[in-house]
Structures are given as structure tokens and as C-alpha cells.
Structure 1
């Protein structure tokens, strides 16, 4: 998956906002699964964690569905999960 992105990260804040433009652009298929990250608009919510392996084990042990293997992306470890009502959520661990 390729994307250009702009990230807003306020110094001292525990959150950031990221806008993505995927390449190629998303399709217009109305039957696309809701966890397709190429769809237009809000597509997922990410949470920063200190230990992605421990957080993953906790979620899986409590019945949360994994949507991806662990990925390395721009000095971060990422993993996607199926959240409430089919919304995709992501865990992010930044490299030290």
C-alpha cells in the first residue's frame, strides 16, 4: 500500500492527526468491506502503545479480530484490528 501523508503532531500531545492520499486512489465499489483502508473519508482510528506485542496479545485474548500482521512503517510498528461496529483500529508503537 502506497500513500502520501501529512501528519499534525502537537508537541507534548498524546495524539496526532494524519491525512492520507492513497496511490492508486480508492475505488467506488459500494460492496467494499468496511475495513478497506483505501475508502474515502474516515477509515480508521489509531492508538499509540508502548508494547505492541503485549497489547496485541491482550486484545486477541479478549476476542478482538486481527486484520493484519505486524508491519514496519516509517520507524513504527503497526497492526490493524476489527473494532466495534466493523470500524478498523490500529495500534502504533514508535521506535525508541
Structure 2
């Protein structure tokens, strides 16, 4: 499995502030479903692809998720710090 960063191809606006509601939806989808492609993650989190891409780029920049290429598909996975972050923002859920 090769690691790739979508930040390299997707520039984030320096003033971009992620939505906690959107981050929560992304984290919920990743925790519930594990590794997933960006398209499936977009469907699971009920987000349009453009919004998802901005938030994934932000999460990658913070070291909370990684993009990995597997079988010609880019999968998004939580890092150790990402799992801790998910646990913190989803604490009311468990």
C-alpha cells in the first residue's frame, strides 16, 4: 500500500476553517466503516465531494488522516492521532 497526500493536488485556502459538524460526520463514517474510498466516504458522511475534499485535506495537514493507494483506489484511514480526535469529538455518541 502506497501513501499519498491529497494536499499535494488540492490546495486549501489559508483561511479555511473546518465545520465541526462536517468533521463529526467524516469521523463517524471512518470510525463506523473503517478504511474507505473518498467516494464512499462522501456517501457515508452525506457530503458533497468538494466539501469532503477540503476537510480531508485539512485533516491530512493536521496528521489526523492519511490517504493510501490500494488497488488503484485512494483510501482514507485514521492515524493514531485521528483516532484520538475522533474519540474526543464523538464522545457523546458512545
- Bucket of the pairwise TM-score, normalised by the shorter protein: under 0.3
Structure with greater strand percent: 1
Q: What's the TM-score once normalised by structure 1's chain length?
A: 0.26
Q: What's the TM-score once normalised by structure 2's chain length?
A: 0.26
Structure with greater helix percent: 2
Using CA pairs below 8 Å that are at least 6 residues apart, which structure has the higher relative contact order?
A: 2
Larger gyration radius, structure 1 or structure 2? 1
